A and B are shown apart, each in its own frame.
Chain A
Amino acid sequence: MNYRNLSITELHNLLLEDKVTPLELVKEAIKLAKEDDNNAFEYICDEEALKKVESLDSSKKNNLFYGIPVVVKDNFSTKDIPTTASSNILNGYVPIFSAEVVERLEAQGAIVIAKSTLDELAMGGTGTSGHKGTTFNPWDKSKTRLVGGSSCGSAASVAKGIVPFALGSDTGDSVRKPASYAGLVGFKPTWGRISRYGLFPFATSLDHVAYFTRNVSDAAISLNVLAGHDDKDFSSSFKEVPDYSKHLTDSIKGKKIGIIKGVVNSMSDKDIIAVFNKTAEGLKEKGAIVEEVEIDEKLLKAIFPTYVIISCAESTSNNANLDGIKFGARVEGDSFEEVMTNTRTKGFSRLIKRRFVIGAYSLLRENADELFIRAQKCRRLIVDAFNKAFESYDALIAPAAPSVAPEFAHKSDALDNEYLIADNYMAYGNMGGYPSITLPIGFKDKLPFGINLTAKPFDEVNLLNIANAVESVTGLKDLVAEDR
């Protein structure tokens, strides 16, 4: 039987009806993972997964995730399973503890079948910079297009139908952008909603646990499992965890939705804009009030440079533990200084070093006012502007990307509005810690593209409700690359 385009709930029902066993599901997923030709995996948990299936507690079979194979991005700590964050510096590192989110999934009976590739240390948006090389977009048979990053392997494995759920992380748009390129739902709940304990930090104040599913309903039921306070993460919220799937199909009549005009205006692809507008019309037909929202273009253009400075600065310190002294791939030297220098020189790629240099430079005493502190002030202005918009709107929407998945050879003009705004604006969701979700709305040249919806902090119930309405407008869900 082909399980590839089934949702978590559908698989769960098959399991309950004994039409398939957890072992069969997991074996099938591992087989597909081994056949994968998109370079989606760092490590396939062949033996580990089968062992975990054996020890499943069948009294938990009513849990939706019981027996469901899942993929975990390789920047989540997994006990006894190598975790490298696709960086050479962590070659050979086998953690002694699992990330809180991994523990929560496993407690429900989910089976981790593989660790997925990423841009090295989650720094990158192309899925090309990990130590295992380029990860391809499953929708493109010619293997000339990226799937996006940094959560490239997780995106590819869900798009390919290997698993119905994959964990990712989102610091700028690392889940929500690949979701657009891969025809998936990519969801990043509010900062603090899900524990980050065990997620390798890139930029602490922007990092979010996020994940891919193939439909909005799966995104909602997944949050039910992942959300909630964790004593090990001091920034995780004590707010009550509602049932996120309860109001999914409620009417959106009267909901106010704002189109971020500046994003659409910066785009050149008329086809994508047309589909986006049609989707917005569909929401109107369902009773929502859809209007254009003006956000100062200067602020929209400032999102990307602000993000670069803050994320690079925080990344220098977050990765300072990778020094060859305690774990990872040590390169010897005659003194501890030499060990550290040699390890870091050899262990990080040029792109990573470039980010560290930018980050360290912007934090130096003589530069901080002009760079780091200025970026922090700018972040405040950006967040203030969006907070103000959320006073009037239940959600803000815009195309998740200005194009379908670009070719690897594609070069953007770094000072062009389309690049500065439409290609990079989604980081506002990280700056404000807003819940933000991407889902597919159309195809161009047989490649998917998506819409992004963002709401105010801890308003996931409302956001998922509106996302579900989008899904019913487009009818695009449970997409699997193979089928087209």
Chain B
Amino acid sequence: MEFEAIIGLEIHVEMKTKSKMFSSGPVSFGEDPNTRVNPVDMAFPGTMPTVNKQAVINAIRVSNALHMDIDDTVIFERKNYFYSDLPKGYQITQQFRPIGSNGYLTIETSNGPKKIEIERLHMEEDTCKQLHSWDFSLLDYNRAGIPLIEIVSRPDMRNGEEAAKYVEKIRSIVTFLDVSDGKMEEGSLRCDVNISLREVGATKFGTKVEIKNLNSLNNIQKAIDFEISRQSIILEFGGQIEQETRRFDEGSKETVLMRVKTDAVDYKYFTESNIAPIKLSKEFIEDAIKTSPELAETKLERYKSFGLNDYDSNLLIADHDISNYYDQGVKSGCSPKLLANWIIGDVQSVLNRDCISIKEFKITPENLGKLVLLIESNKVSNKQGRDIFAEMVNTNEDPEAVMNKLGISQVSDEDELRKVIIEILDVNEQSIIDYKNGKGRAIGFIVGQVMKKTQGKANPALANKIILEEIGRR
């Protein structure tokens, strides 16, 4: 028998908004447990939800990137169930009217591009984090209420590679839109896989198994590939697939049983009436989309239009923070090409040397842009630029200030200065005649003209020397 796998994914993305989905409690990651909590997050009696506007904007932006229909009415429902990690005894979610619906994504696979349809995208809130020990459990309410978007694909994927590519693309979208860190290993992007097998050509779906605890793209692929072979063997021998939830075990690289699914839980959904339906104006939605940060593809196109080659463009895009740094730097008006060279070369080598990320890098993109401008306008040479850079790495001082400090503030380039002086002498023949006739003062006039032309930046001693040399030649 030959089987095909039917795979659908549910992805939860934690948003990095300032405050929580329904409270003014701060969103944080990695802080001490239970230090980022307010009464709403703990579900103290009488507390009420308020809606985080930025979370709505984020959801619109991701929906748009996934080519979805965007509902202009925001309504929330309560999903009712009891669990130790659920402070209110219900989760506020969007069951009946997800903000985004009917979208798709095109992924690049080893068999060419493939379109994956996406059923829905909705907003909800995270639960608190649990830490289980052998005879007790600890609860961390820092996570309770962090805004989530859940993205549910249609069962369009057929193997582990497609699923991994799909998740990778979603991750790129949410990180480039500044919606989330998208860190699977830290749980800010979580993925559940639904997978069933059926004989090739069959129209009926097989029994669905859910896989949880997938914390990397690699594991998604491995878990699915393992699950396909596990289920194939069972079916091959005439067995039946149980409807169950499994988790991926990193050690054995296998999926292991978590629990057998009995009848689906009845969540008794009904409207969250503390939040009256919010009508989003056309302008609000359009504005959210218009002001949306760029997606990776759009950036790539833009970088290419700067004259960057594919290799350099992709290097910049590979790290969202670096590409943001680059974009900030470009705003200074410097040459994008030159700036890219600096980031890929000198900046990257400092990052590697000091084992730091671009976020920890001292020089701000604005200042790096200014430095590139100085080099571009020949105010300093490339070599001088490197000296200034070396100083800035420690201080993030303004490059011009460093230039002055290092005494390379003047035009000390002989060739450049000579060019200026020749030009000035060419139009001041009378002064040359005067000088030659013994009027020493005439030289002072020429120096004055040089200073004027170089905006006072010429080295006076050098200028004097060159003037005398040039007059001597005439």
Q: Which residues of A contact B (CB under 8 A)?
A: 76-77, 83, 85, 90, 93, 95-97, 99, 196-201, 204-205, 231-235, 313-314, 316-317, 319-323, 325-327, 336-337, 340, 360, 363-365, 368, 372
Contacts and interface: CB of A to CB of B under 8 A. Distances in A.
A363 B268 contact: yes
B306 interface: no
B44 interface: yes
A196 B268 contact: no
A138 B80 CA distance: 41
Given A233-B274, A325-B139, 4 more contacts: A96-B39, A196-B46, A326-B43, A326-B44
B45 A234 contact: no
B275 A235 contact: yes
A317 B89 contact: yes
Summarize A's interface: helix, strand, loop or mixed. Answer: loop
A321 B89 contact: yes
Contacts of A197: 46-48
A331 to B, nearest CB: 15
Contacts of B271: 205
Contacts of B43: 321, 326
Contacts of B87: 321, 325-326
B129 interface: no
Given A198-B46, A234-B48, A363 B270 contact: yes
Given A234-B50, A234-B275, A85 B90 contact: no
A96 B50 CA distance: 19
Interface string B20-60: 00000000000000000001001111111111000000000
From B78, B83, B271, B274, residue with most partner A Cβ within 10 Å: B274
Chain B interface extent, by class: 20 to 34
Summarize B's interface: helix, strand, loop or mixed. Answer: loop
Given A317-B270, A320-B80, A77 B48 contact: no
B45 A77 contact: yes
Interface of B: 39, 42-51, 78, 80, 82-84, 87-90, 137, 139, 266, 268-276
A372 B270 CA distance: 9
Contacts of B42: 326-327
Contact of A232 (B48, B78, B137, B266): B48
A320 B88 contact: yes
Given A317-B80, A321-B88, A363-B268, A205 B273 contact: yes
Contacts of B272: 204
10 contacts: A77-B46, A196-B46, A198-B46, A199-B46, A232-B50, A235-B273, A319-B89, A320-B90, A323-B82, A325-B139
A147 to B, nearest CB: 24
A336 B132 CA distance: 11
Nearest to B49: A234
B46 A200 contact: yes
A83 B273 CA distance: 24
Given A77-B45, A96-B44, A234 B51 contact: yes
Contact of B137 (A234, A316, A336): A336
A313 B270 contact: yes
Nearest to A192: B276
Given A204-B274, A235-B275, A321-B89, A196 B82 contact: no
B271 to A, nearest CB: 8
A323 B276 CA distance: 27
